[in-house]
Amino acid sequence: MTVELTQLANGLTIATETMPHLESAALGVWVKSGARDEMQNEHGIAHLLEHMAFKGTSRRSARQIAEEIEDVGGDLNAATSVETTSYYARVLKDDVPLALDILTDILVDSRFDEVELEREQHVILQEIGAAEDTPDDIVFDHFQATAFRDQIVGRPILGTRETVKSFKPDDLRAYLARHYGPDRMIISAAGAVSHKAVVDQVSAALGSGATPAPPDTEARTPASYVGGEFRQTRDLMDAQLVLGFEGRPYYARDFYASQVLSIILGGGMSSRLFQEIRERRGLCYAIYAFHWSFSDSGIFGIHAATGEEELAELAPVIVDELIEAAHGIEESEVTRARAQMRASLLMSQESPTARAGQIARQLMFNGRIIPNEELISRLDAITAPRLADLAERIFGGSTPTLAAIGPVSRLPSADELANRFSEGRNAPVRAAAGA
């Protein structure tokens, strides 16, 4: 399988990968613009715009959009992230032209009807309320807001009740004009697709002159990791805890190493955190590590859910495990984590939906398609000493971020956990850790 690339005269990029044995295809439009690109008074507009894209064009009502894609057994959806927005479909191969027509239609000709807008604003207000009622979701919003305090990159993607209710159709049109230029968009498709057919159809709908390039806008404000603490005492059965540190951006040399480190610490049932904290000590019912990357920063974190009685012991033990990782990591752990990443990479390429998204993200953040051989070579170059050094730099190089919701009165403070890490960095290595 080979990715074919075409760039139109107006800057729009089209990328396809034909998977000849499939009868279906996944395709979509990825826009290099997300919640981070909002101005101060636009909090939540990127997400609202994503919702409104399906609420009617000059040629189709909201109902017709839904019926046309479902009449052929297809699926249509969208997603807003901190730095990107995507609109995508999954259909049988004969229905690729229909899916492309709907996707291009909603991008260039959405009406933003006032009645539909008011209805969708109400839907998002319910979504905000649902998030607030879901502690294991909302704790991550507070975590990111604390890590990047008073910055747009740290704001919840959904917006606030006040900002969401304030938007008018012209606000959506203005945001669309600024950020949805063809030079910031990628059409990506994988599966039973013809590159030439996709290029011909997209050129007719979004080619030169069809979508004007946006005017010059101010560059994104660089993200500045701050760290700190947020805690909210609530009458819940369990406590939700997220502890994190500054991570690495997409472009950093340590990006893939950070992903491997997160797997070793909390990427599965064999990981250090799961085995030590859940299996051996029984201090929580859920725990895992993660690494989020942005274009200029990142977060390395651990999420755990536990009862009130276990919380006081849980947080210090998490820190102890991070200290042990900085002291040393076993080669067998690296081998296992590399195998997990390699399998995940190759298995995802058997899914047209995952592959279309992967192609778009690589073009957006790396400016090219990264061959599998290169990705695997990067993984193979990651060693145990390098990961131990990375753990030392991540966990000892920034102020911790601590966010917790629930019965959290017994939870140590972020400062106490930071002091524990500082004190443990020069402590003897635990015998079980290996060298």
* All residues at 6 or more sequence positions from 89 whose CB lies less than 8 Å from its CB, including other chains: 26, 27, 28, 69, 74, 75, 76, 77, 99, 102, 103
In a domain, 219, yes or no: no
What's the pLDDT score for residue 433? 39
In a domain, 107, yes or no: yes
In a domain, 223, yes or no: no
Could you tell me if 32 and 171 lie in one domain? yes
Residue 232: CATH number of its domain: 3.30.830.10
Could you tell me if 163 and 271 lie in one domain? no
What's the pLDDT score for residue 216? 44
What's the pLDDT score for residue 397? 85
Q: Which is catalytic among the residues 50, 246, 324, 333? A: 50
Residue stretches of the chain with pLDDT short of 70? 1, 208-219, 425-435
Could you tell me if 310 and 387 lie in one domain? yes
Could you tell me if 26 and 77 lie in one domain? yes
What's the pLDDT score for residue 219? 63
Could you tell me if 75 and 10 lie in one domain? yes
Could you tell me if 135 and 257 lie in one domain? no
Could you tell me if 184 and 243 lie in one domain? no
- Global pTM reads 0.91
What's the pLDDT score for residue 426? 62
Number of domain units in the chain: 2
The range of the structural domain enclosing residue 140 comes to 3-206
In a domain, 392, yes or no: yes
SS3 5: strand
How far apart CA 362 and CA 364 sit, in angstroms, is 5
Tell me the one-letter amino acid at 325: A
Could you tell me if 270 and 163 lie in one domain? no
Could you tell me if 177 and 259 lie in one domain? no
In a domain, 217, yes or no: no
In a domain, 222, yes or no: no
Could you tell me if 177 and 275 lie in one domain? no
Could you tell me if 263 and 179 lie in one domain? no
What's the pLDDT score for residue 210? 44
Question: Which of these three, 172, 206, 240, is where a domain ends?
Answer: 206
Rg (CA), the chain: 23
Question: Which of these three, 171, 206, 241, is where a domain ends?
Answer: 206
Question: Which of these three, 206, 241, 270, is where a domain ends?
Answer: 206
In a domain, 112, yes or no: yes
* All residues at 6 or more sequence positions from 379 whose CB lies less than 8 Å from its CB, including other chains: 256, 260, 338, 341, 342
In a domain, 211, yes or no: no
How far apart CA 105 and CA 248 sit, in angstroms, is 37
How far apart CA 259 and CA 340 sit, in angstroms, is 11
Active site residue 330: no
Strands of the sheet containing 3-7, edge to edge, are 3-7, 13-18, 185-191, 24-31, 85-92, 75-80
Could you tell me if 201 and 348 lie in one domain? no
